[in-house]
Amino acid sequence: MKRYIARILFSIFFAILILSFYSYSEDMKSFRIATTTSIYDSGFLDFVAPEFEKKSNIKLSFLSVGSGQAVRIFKNGDADGIIIHEKSFLDDLKKQKLIQKYTPFVSNQFILVGPKSKKDLFKKVKSIHAAFLIIKDRNLKFVSRADNSATYIRELEIWKLAKTEPDFKGYIKSGQGMGMSLNLANEKEAFILTDEATFYKMKDKLDRLDIVYQNPGEEILSNTYYFAFSPGKTKLAFFEMFLKSKEFKRLVASFNQKYFKKEIYRAAK
C-alpha cells in the first residue's frame, strides 16, 4: 500500500515538474502586455509585434481584455505593460506610481454608426452631442456597451456634454465587447458609438449600418492608444522607442493599406 501511494505521489510530482518546466521555459522569456480589445481585435498589434520581435529579440504576448480588466491585471502585477485608450485610467496609474509615463502611439476616431434608413436625420448635425440628442428626443434605438470600456466612458462623456441622461426607452445596454455590440446594433437597427477601425474591419457583416456622423476635428471623438509599462521592466522601454520610430510609422501605413485601403490608424507624432 505504502509503495503504491509513493508511486502515485511520485508520478504526480513528476507530471507537475514536467508541466511547470514546460510553461516556464515558454513564458519566462516573453513580456506580457494587457491590452484593450479594440486595437488587438483589429489585428494591429499582431501585425506590428513580429517586426519588433525580429529586431529586438524581445517577445511580447498580448492579453486582450476590456480596458477596466486590463488596468486591474496591470495593477495586480500580472502584466508587464498596458495598452489602453482611456487617459484617466493612466493618470490614476501614474498617481499610484505604478507607471512613470505613458506614450501615445497610434490613434483613430470614434464615429456614430446607425441604420442606413435614418442617415438623413443627421445631415445637418454639427456635433456629436447634438446627434445623441436627436436619438434621445426621437427615442431611437441606441446600443451602449455599458461595461468598463474606454468607449463606454467616452459615450458617457458625450451624454454629459449634451447635458442629459441616457434614460430613454430605446437605450439598450449590451454589456459586451465592441464586436458583439456592433452585431447587436446591426440586428436591432440601432445606433452605436464605435471606433473606426473596428467598424471598417467588420463592415461587410454589418449590412444595415452605416456611418451617420463623423468629424475628425472634434476633440471628444479622438481615440488615442497609449502604451505604458511598469518601471521594473526596463526592457519594455525598447518597445516604447520602437513605437516612436520611423519604422513603426511605415508599419501603420502598410497596415492601413492592407486592411482598410484608406488611412484609419494614424501614428502619433
Contact segment (CB under 8 A) with another protein among 62-70, 137-145, 210-218, 234-242 equals: 62-70
Q: What are phi and psi of 225, to 5 degrees?
A: -100, 135
Give the number of other Cβ atoms within 10 Å of residue 202's Cβ: 18
Instruction: Determine if 4 is a binding residue for another protein (CB under 8 A).
Output: yes
Dist CA 62 CA 45 (whole Å): 8
Q: Are strands 81-84 and 209-213 parallel, antiparallel or unpaired?
A: unpaired
Stretch that binds another protein, among 117-125, 149-157, 197-205, 241-249 (CB under 8 A): 197-205
- Pick the closer one to another protein by CB: 24 or 235: 24
Residue nearer to another protein on the CB measure, 203 or 244:
203
Residue 64, CA distances (Å) to 99, 187, 242, 248 in order: 20, 25, 21, 21
Report the residue number, 217 or 232, with the smaller CB distance to another protein: 232
- Cell 508587464 identifies what position? 80
Instruction: Please classify residue 47 by burial: count the beta carbons closer than 10 Å to its beta carbon, then call 0-12 exposed, 13-18 middle and 19+ buried.
Output: middle
Degrees (nearest 5) of the Cα angle 11, 13, 15? 65
Q: What is the dihedral of CA 166, 172, 176, 181, to 10 degrees?
A: -110
- Range 10-49, binding another protein (CB under 8 A): 11-12, 15, 19-20, 22-24, 26-27, 32, 37, 41, 46
Given candidates 36, 52, 64, 213, which one binds another protein under the rule CB under 8 A? 64
Using CB under 8 A, count the residues that bind another protein: 33
Nearer to another protein, 73 or 125 (CB): 73
Indicate whether 63 belongs to the interface with another protein (CB under 8 A): yes
Specify the length of the chain in residues: 269
For the bound state, the minimum distance from the C-beta of residue 159 to another protein, rounded and expressed in Å, comes to: 25
What x/- string results for residues 198 through 237 when contact with another protein is judged by CB under 8 A? ---xx--x--------------------------------
For residues 134 to 173, the per-residue mask of contacts with another protein, x marking binding by CB under 8 A and - elsewhere, is ----------------------------------------
Q: How far is the CB of 215 from another protein (least distance, A)?
A: 26
**Contact predicate 74/82, CB 8 Å:** yes
Among 62, 105, 142, 225, binds another protein (CB under 8 A): 62
User: Shortest approach of another protein to residue 160 CB, angstroms?
Assistant: 28
Reported in sequence order, the residue ranges of the chain that DSSP labels E, i.e. its strands, are 30-36, 59-65, 81-84, 103-115, 142-144, 171-173, 191-195, 209-213, 222-229, 266-267
Q: Which residues bind another protein (CB under 8 A)?
A: 4, 8, 11-12, 15, 19-20, 22-24, 26-27, 32, 37, 41, 46, 61-65, 76-78, 176-177, 179-180, 182-183, 201-202, 205
